[in-house]
């Protein structure tokens, strides 16, 4: 078999493998998202369709909770069929600091003031978690609400609930409280190794990107936290 023939066979095999892999991925995605698992008698069952564990290095520094109300309306039938929906449900939003972004360069040591400044990444609110299983109100009004109209009302109402909860989560007053909680948490984390090395008199200051520092507050960046702690051994 000449080289040209070998190349053609190899390319054909590669194409077949790519087609098989692509087909399997498409089928797996379809099965996960759309296919309904049923018992032998045709009854749909409750089961975990897929699960994936992902590592994370963020710490939770706060949580906002409350109740969200959302409404939606639908018009069809040339304006003759109108309907609306109102729902209420509890929600919560967690606030995190991504510790993976806190490198050694984020620590600034001022030997004269015995102050360790941690330049932390800003607090980030997670997506709202709305507990629809515990909703306290679900009211639909309309002379005749079709199945499609009911589906549209539910989709729009849940989307509106998520949107209003997200807006609540990024309000300055909530972010301010989350940042203060983050300051306390990061201060406590840094205080442990400092006390272990006998540096009980060190003051820990946590700053976020929005914090301003004047010229008189500039820290000595000539030594890292590792070097500072190493000198105490």
Q: pLDDT (tens digit, 9 = 90+) per residue, 99-156?
A: 888 888 888 988 899 999 999 999 999 999 999 999 999 999 998 999 999 999 999 9
Residue finishing a domain among 32, 52, 72: 52
Task: Give SS3 for 86.
Answer: strand
Q: Select the more confidently predicted residue: 10 or 118.
A: 118
C-alpha–C-alpha distance, residues 138 and 149, integer Å: 15
User: Which of 38-42, 192-196, 213-217 bottoms out in mean pLDDT, i.e. has the lowest?
Assistant: 213-217
Could you give the CA distance from residue 151 to residue 156 in angstroms, rounded to a whole number? 9
What is the model's pLDDT at position 220? Answer: 42
Q: What is the pLDDT of residue 196?
A: 86
C-alpha dihedral sign at 183, 188, 189, 195: positive
Give me the pLDDT at residue 103, please. Answer: 84
* 164 and 78 in a common domain: yes
231 CB-near residues (< 8 Å, 6+ apart):
none
Residue 226: predicted pLDDT? 54
| pLDDT of 231 | 55
pLDDT, greater one: 170 or 44? 170
Summarize pLDDT for 144-187 with one digit per residue, the tens: 999 999 999 999 999 999 999 999 999 999 999 999 999 999 99
- Looking at the fold, whether 44 and 102 belong to one and the same domain comes out as no
What confidence score (pLDDT) does residue 130 get? Answer: 96
Same-domain check for residues 215 and 166: yes
Mark whether 175 and 94 lie in a shared domain. yes
**Average pLDDT over the chain, rounded to an integer:** 83
| 38, 126: one domain | no
Q: 35: domain range?
A: 1-52
Same domain, 106 and 172: yes
Does 79 lie in the same domain as 47? no
35 and 120 housed in the same domain: no
Backbone angles phi, psi at 154, to 5 degrees: -65, -45
This prediction has a pTM of 0.72
């Amino acid at each position: 078999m000449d080289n040209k023939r070998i190349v053609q066979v190899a390319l054909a095999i590669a194409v077949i493998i790519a087609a098989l892999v692509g087909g399997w991925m498409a089928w797996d995605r379809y099965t996960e998202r759309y296919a309904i698992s049923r018992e032998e008698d045709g009854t749909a069952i409750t089961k975990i369709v897929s699960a994936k564990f992902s590592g994370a290095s963020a710490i939770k520094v706060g949580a906002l909770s409350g109740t969200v109300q959302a409404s939606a309306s639908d018009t069809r039938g040339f304006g003759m069929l109108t309907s609306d929906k109102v729902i209420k449900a509890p929600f919560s939003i967690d606030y995190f600091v991504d510790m993976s972004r806190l490198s050694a360069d984020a620590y600034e040591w001022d030997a004269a003031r015995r102050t360790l400044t941690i330049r932390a990444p800003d607090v980030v609110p997670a997506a709202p978690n709305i507990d629809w299983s515990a909703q306290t109100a679900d009211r639909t009004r309309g002379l005749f609400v079709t199945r499609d109209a009911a589906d549209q009302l539910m989709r729009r109402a849940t989307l509106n609930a998520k949107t209003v909860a997200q807006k609540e989560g990024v309000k300055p007053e909530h972010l301010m409280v989350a940042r203060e909680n983050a300051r306390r948490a990061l201060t406590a984390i840094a205080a442990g190794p400092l006390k272990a090395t006998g540096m009980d008199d060190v003051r820990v200051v946590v700053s976020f990107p929005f914090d301003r520092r004047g010229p008189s507050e500039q820290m000595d960046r000539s030594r890292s936290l590792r070097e500072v702690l190493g000198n105490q051994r």
